[in-house]
Structure 1
Amino acid sequence: MDMKDGEAPPAAQAVELVYRTTTADIAQAIRVRDANTAAGRRRRWLFPLTGALALLLAVQAIAEEGRFGPRAAGFTAGAVVLWTFVLFGHRLQARAFAGLLEKAGETRTVVDGSGLVVRTAAAESRTGWSAQPTYAETRDAFVMLSDDKAAVCMTVLPKRGVQDPADVDRLRAVLDVNLRRL
């Protein structure tokens, strides 16, 4: 690779993103987190299984009582809540952030060899690579995750925020050098 004197290798060059974080970005990050943590994977099979069991118990209650009584209604309501969360949980959780995202406004993120700096209208934060040592790439974003059991901390970097399409490859290179890809 030919480099001019004093030019940093591509992986060390800073990449700037400018974007507004949306609830869709947050929902996507939550899906990535759930797919890559033990707690999330448990929820992916436990909620549907429990919902199906609740429906079976509702059918049993109807058979025993000969009508759709309070017991069957309770089991059915539980099943509906669990299945609603299975189907729409990521979006429902992301909607909880809508007010904060609106207040944050435009986000400017600079990613370089030392980590990232995120600036919004309301705050500025610096995150070193050790705080979120893993990342996953989706069609629309890069999602950085902390390494605690539930990956409580995460950062979503929407690809639409890059200034030049080539910056997506540069960003991926910086992340690959500093983080473990999931």
Structure 2
Amino acid sequence: MHKGGDSIQSAGRDTEIVFVYEPTPADYEAALRRYVYGTWPGRRGVLIPAALITVLVLAFAEVRGFSPAVVALLVVVAVVTAVVTTVRTLTRVAREQVGDMEEYGTCRTVVGEEGLTTTGGDQASTIDWQAFPWYVETDELFALTTVKTRIFFVVPKRGAQDPADVDALRAVLDRNLRRL
């Protein structure tokens, strides 16, 4: 076992990777952008409300007998409103999640084959891989996510104690989660 937060590797035991970092709103916003714009479940979460509102506007316009120009304007306004509202809701969720993590202060996340444990301040939490079956990656971070609730757990790459830890974490995630 190495001291000072280095990677821990022992024969016959799980490999543990340690990341030490301060969570920031930018981390969660980057995770949200990557999820919403870079995955089908994220795009679907924006497109479905827009498609539903379009159908409702078209049905309403048909019943009321609106002219095509009015229908087009109503559809554009409704779609823009649906997309903006959906994205703002997702952004609010991301801000709430970073607010929860700020209580930790400087986080120490230990990742192993069973899951991960994060400690900081007087807080601690352990998450097994079944809680977050998917993950996304950006140049700066890994974000574990649930598709239904859009909850993220972010592990910034800047927290790696050794550059090889980023590749080791990716390998653990690939073995245990599905990459979106």
Specify the TM-score bucket, using the shorter chain as the normaliser: 0.5 to 0.7
Deviation at residue 91 of structure 1 after TM alignment: 3.9
Alpha carbons of structure 1 residues 104 and 39: separation in structure 2 relative to 1, 3 Å: same
1:52-63 mapped onto 2 (5 Å cutoff): none
Alpha carbons of structure 1 residues 52 and 153: separation in structure 2 relative to 1, 3 Å: closer
Partner Cα distance (1:165, 1:152) in 2: 29
TM-score by length of 2: 0.65
Question: Counterpart of 1:174?
Answer: 172
Give SS of 2:162's match. Answer: coil
TM-score by length of 1: 0.64
Alpha carbons of structure 1 residues 95 and 152: separation in structure 2 relative to 1, 3 Å: closer
Question: Counterpart of 1:44?
Answer: 46
Give SS of 2:103's match. Answer: helix
Query: Which one is further off, 92-101 or 127-136?
Result: 92-101
Give SS of 1:164's match. Answer: coil
Contact kept, 8 Å, 2:97 with 2:152, in 1: the verdict is no
Query: Which one is further off, 79-88 or 167-176?
Result: 79-88
Contact kept, 8 Å, 1:50 with 1:82, in 2: the verdict is no
Deviations 1:107-134 (Å, cap 9, x if unpaired)? 1100012211011224211111222222
Identical aligned residues as a percent: 35
Q: Unmatched 5+ residue regions in structure 2?
A: 1-8, 56-65, 67-74
Give SS of 2:148's match. Answer: coil
Partner Cα distance (1:126, 1:16) in 2: 14
**Structure showing greater Rg:** 1
1:121-140 mapped onto 2 (5 Å cutoff): 121-140=121-140
Give SS of 1:104's match. Answer: coil
Contact kept, 8 Å, 1:24 with 1:91, in 2: the verdict is no
Selected match of 1:165 from 146, 151, 163 = 163
Question: Counterpart of 1:117?
Answer: 117
Deviation at residue 98 of structure 1 after TM alignment: 5.2
Contact kept, 8 Å, 1:51 with 1:80, in 2: the verdict is no
Alpha carbons of structure 1 residues 161 and 124: separation in structure 2 relative to 1, 3 Å: same
Q: Unmatched 5+ residue regions in structure 1?
A: 1-6, 54-63, 65-74
Contact kept, 8 Å, 1:135 with 1:143, in 2: the verdict is yes
